């Protein structure tokens, strides 16, 4: 398949089940809500070593938040409910409780059945103990909130956040003529994805250069460089999938609350990159998979791309 001169490989991205939640962080100003959100989602690019994958979903106006203040919604993904709960407790405790003027609420709507509910993870149920006995709670419309005294007033925190079954590891690979073309494609794709709800791109700026494969020649290493897509290894790696005209490959990894969210984000990314097209240096678009052995979600690029303007076999 070709769109605007860019070849779309006949392959698929392979994704796997995760557990996720949405947190709504509010503050006295958008700036302080962002400070807390950026801190909470730091060091959260990959479950391989970070424990979770997290990112800012979008900024929220006061009429979109529980307390009428400006806020930010963040999504956090982990491999298990236990790990997700641990990451939430640590990150909210260290990065939101500590941040001036903030409050935090669960952001998953139980009435939204698109993402199947899993269970609840503690928020205020654990953080309330920081109040050293001075904390108090209040139940509003069946939901318990905790008020913890802190030096700028009080920290308000919902008791629990609902968690859902989710999807992690959707991905796109942009194979380009040079670094400028690859960055242009990746940045445009990330911007298009971030206009959609329920998804994040957890790597720095949404983009990863160190794509990996499972395993290594070195004992104890669980992952290693994806030599098939390293331009400097053309002619050296027997697995290389690159031609000499490709000088740079960049990847976007997508996590979403449902498989349709991930697929929609991938389609938006492909559309944005192919709008730049071959004339802009975007030569191919591919995806990473492990032959179907890693996860049950297979996002086939030709299927995702068939309705993009200009697509042809």
Are 24 and 155 found together in one domain? yes
What CATH number did the domain enclosing 127 receive?
3.30.70.520
Which pLDDT score is estimated for 115?
Answer: 72
Which pLDDT score is estimated for 113?
Answer: 61
Are 172 and 295 found together in one domain? yes
Q: Is the pLDDT of residue 214 over 90?
A: no
Which pLDDT score is estimated for 290?
Answer: 84
Quick one: tokens of 147?
Answer: 């008020």
Are 147 and 272 found together in one domain? no
The whole domain housing 222 covers 2-14+167-312
Q: Is the pLDDT of residue 118 over 90?
A: no
Which pLDDT score is estimated for 114?
Answer: 72
Q: Which of 141, 164, 187 is the last residue of a domain?
A: 164
Q: What is the mean pLDDT of the chain?
A: 95
- Count how many domains the chain has: 2
Are 184 and 289 found together in one domain? yes
Q: How far is CA 103 from the centre of its chain?
A: 22
Q: What is the mean pLDDT of residues 192-201?
A: 98
Are 135 and 185 found together in one domain? no
Are 155 and 187 found together in one domain? no
- Residue in the structure block whose two tokens are 């318990």: 144
Q: Which of 104, 136, 164 is the last residue of a domain?
A: 164
Q: In the structure, what pLDDT confidence band is assigned to residue 109 with cuts at 50, 70 and 90? A: confident
Q: What is the mean pLDDT of residues 168-195?
A: 98
Q: Is the pLDDT of residue 199 over 90?
A: yes
Quick one: tokens of 100?
Answer: 């001036």
Q: What percent of the chain has pLDDT over 90?
A: 90
Residue (of 304, 278, 280) closest to 3 by Cα position: 278
């Amino acid at each position: 398949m070709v769109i605007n001169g860019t070849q779309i490989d006949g392959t698929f991205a392979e994704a796997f089940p995760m557990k996720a939640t949405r947190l709504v962080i509010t503050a006295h100003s958008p700036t302080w809500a962002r400070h807390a959100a950026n801190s909470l989602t730091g060091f959260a690019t990959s479950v391989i070593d970070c424990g979770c994958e997290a990112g800012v979903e979008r900024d929220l106006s006061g009429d979109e938040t529980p307390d009428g203040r400006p806020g930010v919604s963040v999504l956090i993904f982990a491999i298990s409910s236990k790990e997700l709960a641990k990451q939430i407790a640590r990150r909210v405790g260290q990065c939101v409780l500590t941040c001036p003027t903030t409050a935090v609420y669960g952001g998953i709507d139980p009435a939204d059945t698109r993402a199947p509910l899993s269970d609840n993870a503690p928020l205020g149920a654990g953080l309330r103990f920081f109040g050293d006995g001075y904390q108090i709670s209040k139940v509003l419309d069946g939901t318990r909130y905790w008020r913890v005294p802190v030096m700028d007033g009080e920290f308000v925190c919902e008791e629990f956040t609902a968690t859902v079954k989710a999807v992690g590891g959707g991905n796109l690979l942009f194979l380009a003529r040079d670094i400028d073309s690859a960055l242009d494609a990746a940045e445009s794709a990330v911007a298009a994805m971030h206009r959609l709800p329920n998804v994040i791109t957890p790597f720095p700026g949404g983009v990863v250069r160190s794509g990996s494969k499972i395993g290594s020649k070195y004992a104890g290493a669980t992952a290693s460089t994806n030599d098939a897509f390293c331009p400097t290894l053309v002619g050296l790696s027997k697995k290389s999938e690159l031609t000499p005209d490709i000088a740079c490959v960049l990847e976007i990894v997508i996590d979403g609350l449902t498989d349709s969210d991930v697929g929609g984000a991938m389609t938006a990314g492909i559309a944005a990159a192919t709008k730049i097209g071959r004339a802009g240096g975007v030569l191919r678009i591919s995806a990473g998979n492990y032959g179907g052995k890693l996860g049950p979600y297979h996002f086939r690029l030709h299927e995702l791309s068939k309705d993009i303007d200009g697509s042809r076999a």
